[in-house]
Structure 1
């Protein structure tokens, strides 16, 4: 049975019905919210939980999910009542990787770095104001830190975060960092002034080293990847 057939009993909104521009814009925003929610949770989500998490009407959520499943952007998982990303999004991602020189070359360099050092190596970028692991290559040592592509981590927890924010003024940095972001997993708090000082120091030295932030055994060395105009577009790091 095709995934879309599982949805035929769901409430709908009249096929082919023309919606006002404002309604279409609102619908698009809800689609983006669905995708962002799934990405943040990193697992298949029940439709009811999805509607509740987005604070959206259940009937509207059912309708949007059905349309996304029919388009191949989402797929039903498990018993057919949970939904997750579809194969078409994977194909879009592969096309993006082939067309993005920074990502393509960055992946190659990260794999080489991991192979030559035996350490876990990562390519990281800013995505929606968050530190995001774009590509990760595991180390070969018996003790190594595990990391997952797509994982988003608060900027103050990372060496890369200090480099990715280099060049931004204080007001923009403060707008991107919440109070919760400044609290480390063990409960310690990083003062915003100290974090901004670290960013300035990383900009001057051209690299950043952090130790014991995420856990007591983790040390990270990060270096910036610059665009032609001199902006930090990404980082490469050893963990």
Structure 2
């Protein structure tokens, strides 16, 4: 569905460009493959127009056609645009040294992630050298409610904010620790917010421990989260790791101008 523009704004709009971008926005975590008939139906286009637009995006590297099919998935150029954007942001630039230093001090995998709606996106990864490790590639997405970093990113939200954010969203359970309602999520966040960090022990992936703290900008808004994760067999001393994660998050926050 195309947005409605004011009459004086409409003359500046390139409709074909808008339609092409609208095709890209049809893809999401639960919908990685889209057919031409689906594109035509959802954007109210003829099948011929939908195909020509998808074909153009394919030729330019923004879409990739599935073998022997009229269906498409996102191409490498879209993924690189997102990767380059995140790598160029201030929070990632400030966080890179701190994340690698955190990995070196603790010996565990360290990461930075940001929030995109109800999901987190990993934007930095400093992998440990352990054979059993909590290594998470850049670009990986996880549901906020189920992982430590996601909940740390939600520390600044009230229960009403969470209700708005999760309206119409199903909160799937990944273990018996996973909050599956807004009330449960807010209760968990309140408790974790008081201690300054969020933690999962086999709460999302069995056998993996994760501990995360929020990063704030100069206004105090939470803009990222830093975490360490690794196997329960090697990440045993949560107390010392907690202090290291809090220190790393505080260092990046200070670089971003937070004086709290």
TM-score, normalized by the shorter chain, greater than 0.5: yes
Of residues 144, 151, 156, the one that matches 1:155 is 144
Deviates more, 1:146-155 or 1:176-185: 176-185
Give structure 2 stretches of 5+ with no counterpart: 1-8, 230-260
Map of 2:57 onto structure 1: 68
1:155, 1:161 within 8 Å by CA — same for their partners in 2?
Answer: yes
Q: Which range is displaced more, 49-58 or 136-145?
A: 49-58
CA contact 1:155–1:177 (8 Å) conserved in 2: no
Distance 1:198 1:28, change over 3 A: farther
Q: Which residue of 2 aligns with 1:184?
A: 173
Describe the SS at the equivalent of 2:29: helix
Report the secondary structure of 1:125's partner residue: strand
> How much has 1:232 moved relative to structure 2?
0.7
Deviations 1:149-173 (A, max 9, x none): 2222221101122221122222221
In structure 2, the CA distance between the partners of 1:56 and 1:187, relative to structure 1 (3 Å rule), is farther
How far, CA to CA, are the matches of 2:205 and 2:42 in structure 1? Answer: 32
Measured in 2, the distance between the counterparts of 1:78 and 1:107 equals 38
Is 1:51 the counterpart of 2:9? The answer is: no
Which residue number corresponds to residue 111 of structure 2?
Answer: 122
5+ long unaligned stretches in structure 1: 1-19
Q: Could you tell which deviates more after superposition, 165-174 or 91-100?
A: 91-100
Aligned residues: 218
Residue 198 of structure 2, aligned match among 193, 199, 208: 208
Distance 1:187 1:164 in 2: 21
User: Structure 1's 187 and 181: CA in aligned 2 closer, same or farther, altered over 3 A?
Assistant: farther
2:211 corresponds to = 221
Give the drift of 1:198. Answer: 1.9
Q: Could you tell me how far apart the structure 1 residues matched to 2:165 and 2:64 are?
A: 33
Partner of 2:232: none
Corresponding position of 1:194 = 184
Deviation at 1:78, TM superposition (A): 5.5
**Contact 1:155-1:181 within 8 A present in 2 as well:** no
Tell me how far apart the structure 2 counterparts of residues 231 and 72 of structure 1 sit (CA, whole Å): 36
Q: Tell me: CA distance 1:163–1:110, structure 2 relative to 1, closer, same or farther (3 Å).
A: same
Bigger mean CA offset, 204-213 vs 182-191 = 182-191
**Conservation of the 8 A alpha-carbon contact between 1:164 and 1:232:** yes
Distance 1:90 1:181, change over 3 A: closer
